[in-house]
Amino acid sequence: MKKVRNEQIIKALGQRVRDLRSDKKLSMEKLAELSGIDYRQLSYIELGQTDASLSTLYALCNGLNISLTELMDINTLK
């Protein structure tokens, strides 16, 4: 079976979440609260240490008040 985990994308997505959170001047604790996820889970995502599920990414988008399309903008995930 082929390995599908892409470390580069996971790290880029984590950085994208961190950048969007910073742009909105939200602390990690506040974004976790707004998203309904655990603070530690958000930390692992931002550090690129976990491959977030689609439902978690959707929750983060709700917390950031953005669309999944905006989060996953291919031009920002390099």
d(CA 17, CA 15): 5
Distance from CA of residue 26 to its chain's centroid? 13
Give residue 35's Cα distance to chain centre.
Answer: 11
Position 16 scores a pLDDT of: 95
* Contact in structure between 28 and 21 (CB atoms under 8 Å): yes
Residue 59 · residue 36 · CB < 8 Å: yes
Which pLDDT belongs to residue 78? 64
Q: In order along the chain (78 residues), what is the average pLDDT of each group of 10 residues?
A: 82 95 97 98 97 96 96 79
